[in-house]
Structure 1
Amino acid sequence: MENHAFKLEADIDRTPLLWRLAIWQNMDNYYKRKETSSSTPINVVELDDLPSDPVDRPRILKYDVNQRDEIRRQYWIRGPFQPKGYDFPSTNGRRFVKAWFEKYNWIEYSIKADKAYCLCCYLFRDHIGHQGGSEAFVTEGFNSWKKSERLKEHVGGVSSFHNAALEKCESLTRTNQSILNAFDKQDEKSKTDNRIRLSAMISACRYCLKCAIPFRGHDEMDTSIYKGNFLELMDLILSHNEELRNLPKALGNNKLVSPYIQKDVVKCFKQEVLECIFKEIGDDVFALLVDESSDVSKKEQMVIVLRYVDEHGLVKERFVGLVHVKDTSSLSLKCSIDSFFSKHKVSMNQLRGQVVVAVARKHLAIVNFFDKIAILMNVVCASCKRKDILLDTEKKRVEEEIGSGRIETGKGLNQEVSLIRLGDTRWNSHYKTLVRLVDMFPSIIKVLEFVKEEGSNGSNQNQAHGLLKYLKSFDFVFYLHLMLHILGLTNILSHALQRKDQDIIEAVQLVEVTKEKLQDLRTNGFEPLLEKVSSFCEEHGIRILKMDEDCLNSRRQKEKITNQHYYEVECFNTVLDMQIQEFGDRFSEASTELLSCMAALHPRDSFSMFDSPKLIRLCEFYPKDFSRAEIIELKDQLEVYHLSVRKDPRFANLNGIADLARVMVETRKYLSYPLLYRLLKLALVLPVATATVERCFSAMKIVKSNLRNRIGEEFLNACVICVVEREALAKVKDEDVLQRFQNMRLHRGKV
């Protein structure tokens, strides 16, 4: 078979095109393929889902035969798995040497197996044969670290197995040598024309991503009045670009404006953005911020944000991935994070701080309360007519109260307001909703009564009837004022923690104050809360329960308890205990001490907060980053540093430790005080909390809306990354995207 195939390849230029196609398509009828594996091939897979760690990869022959070359190309473009920031374990005094990554660009390291592998031999092992120690670097793995000469022996001579596999890997990116291009040869003029077309298409994709507008349209026919943002933008570019407009039509099915090509280009933009971000991180430390929320199609999506200090001393929080998770358990989230780190060659050893935000309402009555509020928003604000009724009713009520003197007038007072929907991506939206609900309660009741009597259908009328019954109950009023009080106490802290330029000293003070306020509310707050609830009920004609009567709401029907016991112990105390416990978990004594030690780095008032013992204590929180010898050295370094920066006018009037890091890099003092600068970076990458993940969810809801709820996971991830990271997107060059697009797979038109 090999001789016949060689002759066929040698005579291919003299064979008519139709005969060549027939020969290639019917090759299996004349020659039987030699099966090297009896296992069933894997079905078609997503290229982004290919495992990164060499141990997790199946044999190439197990993939679908029509996708093997694409998989090989994807692995080769991605490069060997080299976790350079990983702390390689020692076995019998020997370990993997990091310098081998630079010396042998083909070598891979498996974190799970603590072994080395060869990428190019893995890709073409079954295609070429077994020789030259290929098995050790493909299936078994190499871990004889003291015999490093075997790495050189594996490469071998010019005709070795490794070099033959390497040549085939390099041929994967030489798309001009593919059989497809042999059938479809193009002259230089055609390549130039394709480059112009592709450049225009890349510019249109960049604009759609930058402005976060949808690509597709409902009707993309040439005769359509509106074909969608992307095609309309391409028409606009054509109308203003004479060179592009006068190009001849591309041959065959080489249509660069197709959705398939659009997704490829967007994916290229995403890969360039991520490459820029991970290049900034390098081998340095970073913090991990993770949160999860459901999208419009009710899929749980996990946001991954990395916080790090770049080479200029600037703190950055970068969104790097959106991962669909089937459940939100700790184990599932950890597996997804491990897979993400492995894919992008990032080591867990670089991770220093993490914030996993998972807010869950555990009290069933509170769950029911917020569910009813969500239904209320849908009923009252579902139509313009109901919203207008609400605004008109509220306006009349305000006018009446102004006339009776119950409401003051003045500049900026009594502005027109409406209800605010609960937002999962904004912490203070719940607080604002409850404030508006208390303020507009009479008007909301009138709207519900209108819907109950004149609703558009029976379902709306039933919803309005149920809401009226719930809103006029003592239960609702109690939970309304309880949650309003709790959210009001934590609102200032939430706003402070949502700022990117977090002030550590202010954060520490707010954490302590909020803890004290919650504890004081738990101890002395029930009676004042009960008075507010009773006053609200009297004002709006709601029946007030007597606290000494038997409770009918308790789930423990066998045990007779009073209303006083139910609302104070099972409701008030339980909800506050949950809040205090969660607050304590987020800001434990160790965390508070850590923040207090970090405050000693603050440059406020000529470094008046500087405290050498606290900074030494801060080093003890990071035993992997500071050895005992380095801590001793740091003690002497701190005194010199303190005197130096106080006398340097460039360090005057700094706002925080973020400014301190930036100025240390600008003045090159980070070279004189490397241990202190390392401590400063560790303090900067540790966030108290952040709103970056919430902003990512907001972008996700823009990209994947109700009208575009079937967008694929891979395309959604690429779009959201580019939309959020506009700064990195602006740095991506069209030429880099064009080259990556050409290398990712075989395309009809070449440039």
Structure 2
Amino acid sequence: MRYLQKGHSQPHNHKFLKSKSGDYERSFQRSWFDKYLYWLEYSVENDAAYCLCCYLFKPDKGEQSGAKQNEEYRLAALEKALRHDKLIAPSIQKDIINAFAVETINKLISDLGDAFFSILVDEARDGSNKEQMIIILLYVNKRGCVVECLFIIMHITDTTALSLKMGIETLFSKYNLSISILRGQGYDGASNIHRDLLNEKQAWKVKKAIESGELSTGQGLNQDTSLKRPGETRWGSHFGTLLSLINLFSFVIEVLEDFTENSDNGVEANLQLSELNSRFNEGNTELLICMASLNPSDYFKAFDKGKLVRFAQFYPLEFSSTDLMTLELKLDNYIDDMRSDSDFSELNDITSLAQKMVEKKKHLIYSLVYLLITLALTLPVAITSVERAFSAMKIVKTHLRNRMRDQFLNDSLIPYVEKDLFDSVDKEIVMQ
């Protein structure tokens, strides 16, 4: 371990020799040490560059860095050490990955601070056909940037609202997150369990029909079908969805009847029905219309003082009656300042407006307006980050690695998805 404690060999003051390569003379560049700080080594004796990680985990590559500690490390850590104490042991490598995942999440929590945030929740099946729930944290950081980060991926036994609520509360308690600063929840789940029930009903009906002679058997007959998900922009996909709904209408009705007959599922079905009915009610529509008044494009053409005051009224915990009166007075100064400042003339969206206000310190002058902007940006209206996390899950846990445990899957996904946060983790803390 003395080699690690001494640090990798990066002789910044060494005069690197030039060697002819073709028609040019080339040499090692000192700036590479800063660019590849954690893994690049240079051997003065051999006039060659090496990878520290390759050396530590592949001892059969020979001597590097010209240091005697290399051989001592190889003997102590890779040959004489007990099997479970070796850095190449799976248990040790999993501990290292877990430490990096924990520190990455700690970086996320530190960056969040006491800012308002929302969560995006969804679930899907992994390579071993297990239901995995992913939670994405959405907030505006101190630089005015919107951040969507993978918070956790965890296995769930069912997708009922009560189970998800308990899982989220446990998670909040573990990381000391206050529900009082939670300002939105986006959930796009339960589709898998509904699809399974629908397929089971269809398969049972087909089986009964074959047994009674109502259907004939043969290649290509009685294949599984399911409800098609409509695309966002293609009307043809909507037509296909309607056709599949007509084809499976009787099965859909039976699934819904089963949900209402069962007390637990009936509650869940009613909750989902209420959610669908309220997704685009008058209140939500008015909220989106008011929020559009913050758009800075075309010299704040969409600005509407009355709508912004109305927008603030949707958040009574953040805006008292006194704050609303102050906001109404501040909005006149705000819009005059924005339209007269050339730095804000070419902005096209609310995200760039938030960043520019922080950059120019305007968020301190118009703190109530900036609060409106952050609340608008934390509305959970997008799930692209969730889909990216699921895509990464399919890469990390494939059908060839379907025995991967849940904790190892979570620890592997967090650094893989959140590469920027992972790169900022202090390696010294992980080593300790």
TM-score by length of 2: 0.71
Quick one: which amino acid aligns to residue 468 of structure 1?
G
The answer for the alignment partner of 1:468 in structure 2 is 220
Q: What SS does structure 2 have at the residue aligned with 1:345?
A: coil
Describe the shift of the 1:236–1:664 C-alpha distance in structure 2 as closer, same or farther (beyond 3 A): farther
1:192 and 2:2 are equivalent in the alignment: yes
- Number of aligned positions between the proteins: 345
5+ residue gaps, structure 2: 10-35, 37-52, 204-216, 252-271
Q: Percent identity?
A: 39
Q: 2:191 corresponds to which residue?
A: 360
1:613 match: secondary structure:
helix
Partner of residue 325, structure 2: 632
Counterpart contact for 1:198–1:256, Cα < 8 Å: no
Kindly indicate whether the alpha-carbon contact (under 8 Å) linking 2:138 and 2:147 is maintained by their aligned counterparts in 1.
Answer: yes
Shift of 1:371: 8.9
Quick one: structure 1 residues 466 and 695, their matched pair in 2 at CA, closer, same or farther if it must change by over 3 Å? Answer: farther
**Match 1:247 to one of 31, 53, 72:** 72
Aligned position for 1:70: none
- Indicate how the Cα distance of structure 1 residues 587 and 198 shifts in structure 2: closer, same or farther if over 3 A, else same: farther
Partner of 1:265: 96
Give the deviation of 1:196 after TM superposition.
6.4
Distance 1:491 1:371 in 2: 29
1:311 maps to 2:63: no
Which residue in 1 is equivalent to 2:405?
712
Distance 1:347 1:554, change over 3 A: closer
Q: Could you tell me which residue of structure 2 aligns to residue 487 of structure 1? A: 230
Shift of 1:197: 9.5
* Contact persistence 1:197–1:256 (CA under 8 A): no
CA shift, 1:236, in A, is: 7.4
Matches within 5 A, 1:690-705: 690-705=383-398
> Any stretches of 5+ residues in structure 1 without a counterpart?
1-190, 200-206, 208-229, 373-464, 494-516, 534-550, 556-578, 740-751
Whose strand proportion is higher, 1 or 2?
2
2:174 aligned with 1:343 = yes
Provide the C-alpha distance between the structure 2 equivalents of 1:292 and 1:256, rounded to a whole number of angstroms.
34
Counterparts of 2:250 and 2:284, CA distance in 1: 38
Q: How far, CA to CA, are the matches of 1:270 and 1:302 in structure 2? A: 17
Work out whether residues 287 and 686 of structure 1, in 8 Å CA contact, stay in contact via their aligned partners in 2: yes
**8 A Cα contact 1:289 1:305, kept in partner:** yes
- The whole-number CA distance in structure 1 between the counterparts of 2:138 and 2:124 is 20
**1:390-405 aligned within 5 A:** none
- The secondary structure found in structure 2 opposite 1:313 is coil
- Distance in structure 1 (CA, Å) of the matches to 2:192 and 2:319: 40
Q: Report the AA paired with residue 247 of structure 1.
A: E
Q: How does 1:386-535 map to 2 (within 5 A)?
A: 468-470=220-222, 483=228, 487-488=230-231, 490-491=232-233
Q: Which amino acid aligns with 1:673?
A: Y
Structure 1 residue 194, shift from structure 2 partner? 5.2
Give the corresponding residue for 1:723. 416
CA RMSD of aligned residues (A): 3.7
Once the two structures are superposed, the pairs formed by residues 19-34 of structure 1 within 5 Å of their partners are none
Q: Please, which of 311, 324, 342 is the counterpart of residue 649 of structure 1?
A: 342
In the superposition, relative to structure 1, how do residues 604 and 589 fare at CA in structure 2: closer, same or farther (>3 Å)? Answer: same
Q: Secondary structure at the match of 1:306?
A: strand
Q: 1:370 Cα deviation (Å)?
A: 12
Over 3 Å counting, the alpha-carbon distance change for 1:364 and 1:255 in structure 2 is: closer
CA contact (8 A) 2:159 2:190 kept: no
Provide the secondary structure at the position in 1 that maps to 2:382: coil
How do residues 9-24 of structure 1 correspond to structure 2 at under 5 angstroms? none
Q: In the TM superposition, what is the alpha-carbon distance from 1:492 to its structure 2 partner?
A: 6.0
Say if 1:597 and 1:614, in contact at 8 Å, map to a contact too.
yes
Q: Does the 8 Å contact 1:600/1:610 carry over to 2?
A: yes
**TM-score, with length taken from structure 1:** 0.42
Q: Which among 207, 229, 234 is matched to residue 57 of structure 2?
A: 234
> Does 2:289 align with 1:596?
yes
Which amino acid counterpart does residue 303 of structure 1 have in structure 2? I
* 1: CA distance, partners of 2:323 / 2:135: 33
1:300 matched to 2:131? The reply is yes
Higher relative contact order (CA 8 A, sep 6+): 2
Match of 1:469, SS state, is coil
Distance in 2, matches of 1:264 and 1:640, equals 55
Deviation at 1:258, TM superposition (A): 1.4
